[in-house]
Chain A
Amino acid sequence: MSVTSRAPDARNDQAPAPALRGPVARPGSRLLHRMVWLRLSLLLSAPLAWMLLVYVVALVALLITSLWSVDSLSSEIDRSWTLENFRTLLENEVYRNVALRTVGVAVAVTVIDVAIALPIAFYMAKVASPRARRMLVVAVLTPLWASYLVKVFSWRVVLSEGGLAEWSGLGSPGYGLTAVVITQAYIWLPYVILPIFAALERVPDSLLEAAGDLGAPTGMVLRSIVMPLLVPGIVAGAIFSFSLTMGDYITVNIVGGANQMLGNLIFINAGAANNLPLAAAIAMIPIAVMVVLLTAIRRTGALENM
């Protein structure tokens, strides 16, 4: 064969094979091995730069913008420091109502999602066969690939007058806050199922067996063993659904009727009203709510086991 006969010749043409024994001379690697700080800084510089730019700088820019104002005559941004925007937020009843409404919707969506996600995640992690589990994970993930807008408009069609909900005899709540809660609960559900599923998968079956073995009936096993171990997963899922709902403004535009949420106010002020400083100030509300919430959760120690 031509290939086999040529192979030895080809090898002979090359430089002698590298020695297998003895150290390999790689000065760069040796330097990196010795200089721990150099290794660390090379490793961390990219993610650190990203964190600084995307999170810290953006947040600081937002905060600074919220302390500016807009000249009502020229519509130019006035770059002198003022707390005027925050005074408006506190004193104007509209902003307070919208903020409370947004938190209320976020709480409702989170409670509904956790209630739906718990049994689904439990079935996926502890009951289903490995094959069925894979199918279910795919089924939970698939909606995330569909466009957000398509999903929201589908719900608009479902909830519309004479739509699927009415046609099926269930009745439709019509466009409004209930429709917003239903749609948001549907859209964020995968984000709640997955962390709870992951937390449940980490609970070894032997723990459940041990509790049953020691005499605990199923309900007690769930209450005293499974739930405490699930708290980190539930908290993670709840943070997702809560914060995602807090920041949403499209769903409420499409199925919310005349209702407004914080996202709408930000959108209007940043766009049509051309008041970027006020928009920035409104954006500080969900951030403040999340900071308060995360601090409270941290106090309970639920984040330590995450």
Chain B
Amino acid sequence: MSLSTSAPAEAAAVDRTPAITLRGLRKTFGDVVAVDAVDLDIADGEFFSMLGPSGSGKTTVLRLIAGFEQASAGTVELGGVDVTRSAPFERDVHTVFQDYALFPHMSVLDNVGYGLRVRGLGKKERRERAQQALDTVRLGHLGARRPAQLSGGQRQRVALARAIVLQPRVLLLDEPLGALDLKLREQMQVELKQLQRELGITFVFVTHDQEEALTLSDRIAVFDAGRIQQLGSPREIYESPASAYVAGFVGTTNLFDSATSQRILGVAGEHAVRPERLRLSAGTEPDSEGSARPDEVRLEAVVVETIYLGTGNRVHLRTSDGVELVALEQSTGSLDTREHRGEDVTVRFARADVVPLAAGS
């Protein structure tokens, strides 16, 4: 498991205690190990994402940080203080729930003001602050409504306002955009990022959407089977995945097993190449630049299928010795750059773009 951190996050961690520190965190439900030996430091003010398929343990880690679950072993520290055994209401973190969890019997304003009411603030100050928080998420005009009268995106923002009104150090977001349609999700991604920058609080963001994690995060932890498979900046995760699992989960990739690598690349061990690194040219006859340069891999292949994506084409290929490849071509605007089914093409990619993967996993 790689625990490398990106440079800026490391610099931030030097002069400040991390917002969240997890040590040897473990959670079992009966015989099922949901979280297994997770060590993690999340820096103050960081936008941190936990990415993984459902059942990978990412939500359980979030719930352990919030205090909804009790750790089976290990510790949770918030700002250097051990809170492993503290109740949720004793922790200075707030959660935005996947289903928003708005109180149906209260108005939007009362929902946002609930945390202030719990803290014994007077009615007037409560309303002012709740109104302010609603304005921040641009819902100031809807305070009198009931949650049931709002759209999904609006409920999402009310849930956000309800959490940020308490000015927590850490905001936990459990797949908050999962229930929104694509357009709204993209818009909310931008707003979340802006909000996080303005407020300067730590965001811990759980998602199964790799694109969302790549877009939003300062750092990403990729989860599988209760463990962190890789930890790093979006660029590190995407460009140099540590394992076949990470390479396959984050984006699409061309995976070569050891035997194929030996045949194509001349080295053993698993390797991966991103589809957008593959360059295609029509025909297999060696032309002027036909023979492979030493820093380049050249393969002959047949187009199995081309899929039009709008921004480009995804081309599925099969080489003469049966290796399946996917290439991603950006649309150039010229009329017919599209390869046709059954056409012979030459595939080239730079050796520098080939990522060696750790054995195992």
A: residues with CB less than 8 A from B are 204, 206-207, 209-217, 220, 224-225, 228-229
Contact = CB atoms under 8 A, between A and B. Distances in A.
B99 A211 contact: no
B114 A211 contact: yes
Contacts of A207: 101, 103
A214 B159 CA distance: 11
Given A207-B103, A213-B95, A214-B114, 8 more contacts: A204-B99, A206-B98, A209-B66, A209-B68, A213-B93, A214-B115, A215-B119, A215-B166
5 contacts: A212-B88, A213-B93, A214-B162, A214-B163, A216-B114
A129 to B, nearest CB: 10
B108 to A, nearest CB: 14
B180 to A, nearest CB: 17
A212 B119 contact: no
Q: Which 3 A-B pairs have the closest CB atoms?
A: A214-B115, A210-B101, A206-B101
B31 to A, nearest CB: 15
A210 B104 CA distance: 12
Interface in B89-109: 89, 93-95, 97-99, 101-105
Contacts of A209: 66, 68, 88, 95, 97, 101
A190 to B, nearest CB: 27
A229 B103 CA distance: 9
B7 interface: no
B87 interface: yes
A217 B105 CA distance: 19
B91 to A, nearest CB: 8
Given A213-B89, A228-B105, A229-B105, A206 B99 contact: yes
A217 B120 CA distance: 13
A212 B114 CA distance: 11
B104 A212 contact: no
B89 A212 contact: yes
Contacts of A216: 89, 114, 118
A225 B67 CA distance: 19
Interface-central residue, A204, A213, A228, by most chain B CB under 10 Å: A213
Contacts of A220: 118
A215 B115 CA distance: 6
A128 B157 CA distance: 34
A224 B89 CA distance: 15
A214 B118 CA distance: 8
Interface in B198-230: none
Contacts of A229: 104-105
A206 B115 contact: no
Contact of B97 (A206, A217, A228): A206
Interface-central residue, A206, A228, A229, by most chain B CB under 10 Å: A206
B88 A204 contact: no
Contacts of A217: 87, 89
A62 B93 CA distance: 64
B89 A204 contact: no
Nearest to A214: B115
Interface in B63-92: 66-68, 87-89
A164 B163 CA distance: 56
A210 B166 CA distance: 13
A233 to B, nearest CB: 13
A225 B115 CA distance: 12
Contacts of A212: 67-68, 87-89
Nearest to B94: A213
Nearest to A203: B104
B311 to A, nearest CB: 37
Given A209-B68, A209-B88, A210-B95, A215 B118 contact: yes
Nearest to B117: A224
A182 B93 CA distance: 48
A59 to B, nearest CB: 35
Nearest to A216: B118
A56 B117 CA distance: 49
Nearest to B119: A215
Nearest to B112: A214
Contacts of A225: 103
B167 to A, nearest CB: 12
